[in-house]
Chains A and B, each alone.
Chain A
Amino acid sequence: MTDTLTPTLLPLGDRGLLIRFAETLSDDANRAAIGFAARAEAAGVRGVAEVVPNLVSVLLRYEPSAISFVALAGEVRLLVSAPGQPAAADAEHRVAVHFDGEDLSEVAGLVRLSVADFIAAHNAAPLRVLATGFAPGFIYCGMHPEALVVPRRGVVRRQAQAGTVLFAAGQTAITSTAIPTGWHVIGHTEFRNFDPAAEPPTTVRAGDSVKFVAS
């Protein structure tokens, strides 16, 4: 599959090239970014030290002694228009959630469902991992159907523990470390995506699928 979106190429400092597929989050732009990151990694572009998929963009960190921004931009344009290789199979993860979050009933109310119906709707279909990297092991999963979209909370919680299941903006997110959050806390999980002693330290990748089940 080739990407139908033509990306914008921007310098990010003097050692980074950002490939931006859109200004706003959409499923197409997200898939384009993840697909391009996979292709850039597989291609092993000279001078590129790191490939980082984001929600709608990809950062290539490069070593200017090996390749210049201008030369790398040329390589990127070739890669964008090249026919894509079949992507490696994306992994599937099953995440058992205790739906016991302090904002659960409020969220169910916002989408006009009972708590039980909200949980059923939330778990109805597998989600795609849209992005990683906001914090160690943190993952964003989406997109929920329009009927389940709620805004973030007005107030930031100082500390959401590791294994907190968060909900906002049509997405479900899972923390693997303690972080502050402005999202709704809908549950908790034993699922962890960060082990500093492991190589790699996180195993869930953008593009993987996540099936949530109530436990």
Chain B
Amino acid sequence: MSAIRITRAGPLATLQDAGRPGLLRHGISASGPMDGAAFARAGGWLGAAGTTAIEFTTAGLSFVAEGSVSIAVDGGAFELSIDGEAKSWPARALLGAGSVVDIRPGPAGNYGYLRLDREIEVPLVMGSRATSSIAGIGGFGGRALRAGDLLPLGATLPRGRGQHPTPAEVADGPIRIVWGIHADRFDNAIRQRFVTDGFAVSSQLDRMGVRLGDPSQVFADAKILSLVSDAVVPGDIQILGDGTPIVLMRDHQPTGGYPRIATVVTADLDRFAQLRPGNQVRFVPVTVQHAEGLKR
């Protein structure tokens, strides 16, 4: 049986598949890739890919292929080398037994994906192999990957029609939002400044949420009351008691009791997830009708 032996994992590298939606009432958020589009692209390069990917973070990932295996990588922009030879990004490759893959920090993005032409054989937990960092379940023993982990691989999938990897077009411009379930709790002036003043991605970001810097103090004077809690969806922007905005991400808390001024539209959440600490963020409101029609 072939396997992937991890020799170096940046913090918070996890196994992710499409996630386990539908369990909010049980207290489980869906998890799944932080950049779902990049996850899908990496699978597309292979044509037929196992459902489960390694999601690695800015610091990258190194591993040894224990047995021959086809891989594809995408997401952000990382530096890739295979057996010491530099490769372009994104990439697809057939690894021989013993091949050494080294993914190093690159110029852009927080999350990259490694997909394989076979399944990563970890148990399904509630129908999914995704790691939930908030619940500590799924993936590889419910935890982040680290050096020394051996990921057993299943049988090779029937060959699919793959594609030559090409870099994705990087969209820019403001992050689109729809106004949130508590937008009416904020003064007009604050709502106005929320979309005119810029924010910055802070260094406090993980799969649960991304805290934003608020350099012009949009929320300094906002009265933040604790509310009766409601279910949370990915992209919800909560304003914490001290005025810090936090964008809740794929491993979000299942319910939230702080006011939510807005929710990032589904089509822009992958792009938002890839913004690095220090990157500027602007929000622009769109209608739900508009957001529903946007392609992911």
Residues of A within 8 A of B (CB): 10-16, 18, 20, 22-25, 49-57, 59, 61, 64, 68-70, 131-138, 176-177, 194, 196-197, 200-202, 205-206
Contacts and interface: CB of A to CB of B under 8 A. Distances in A.
A201 B230 CA distance: 21
A97 to B, nearest CB: 21
A138 B27 contact: yes
Given A14-B288, A55-B228, 6 more contacts: A14-B263, A54-B228, A57-B228, A59-B230, A133-B25, A138-B27
A15 B178 CA distance: 11
Contacts of A54: 228-231, 255
The 9 closest A-B pairs by CB, nearest first: A14-B291, A13-B263, A64-B292, A136-B27, A59-B231, A202-B26, A52-B231, A11-B288, A52-B24
Interface of B: 21-28, 125-126, 135-137, 178-181, 227-231, 233-236, 254-255, 263-267, 288-289, 291-294
Nearest to B179: A11
B289 A70 contact: yes
A64 B294 CA distance: 10
A133 B26 contact: yes
Given A69-B292, A136-B27, A13 B21 contact: no
Contacts of A10: 181
How would you classify the secondary structure of chain A's contact residues: helix, strand, loop or mixed?
Answer: loop
A50 B21 contact: yes
A50 B137 CA distance: 21
A137 B235 contact: no
B181 A18 contact: yes
Name the residue among A23, A68, A196 with the largest chain B CB count within 10 angstroms: A196
Contacts of A22: 228
A202 B27 contact: yes
A136 B233 contact: no
Nearest to A138: B27
B25 A206 contact: yes
12 contacts: A11-B178, A12-B236, A13-B234, A20-B230, A49-B22, A56-B228, A61-B21, A131-B229, A201-B28, A202-B26, A205-B25, A206-B25
Contacts of A134: 27, 229, 254-255
A176 B145 CA distance: 25
B27 A135 contact: yes
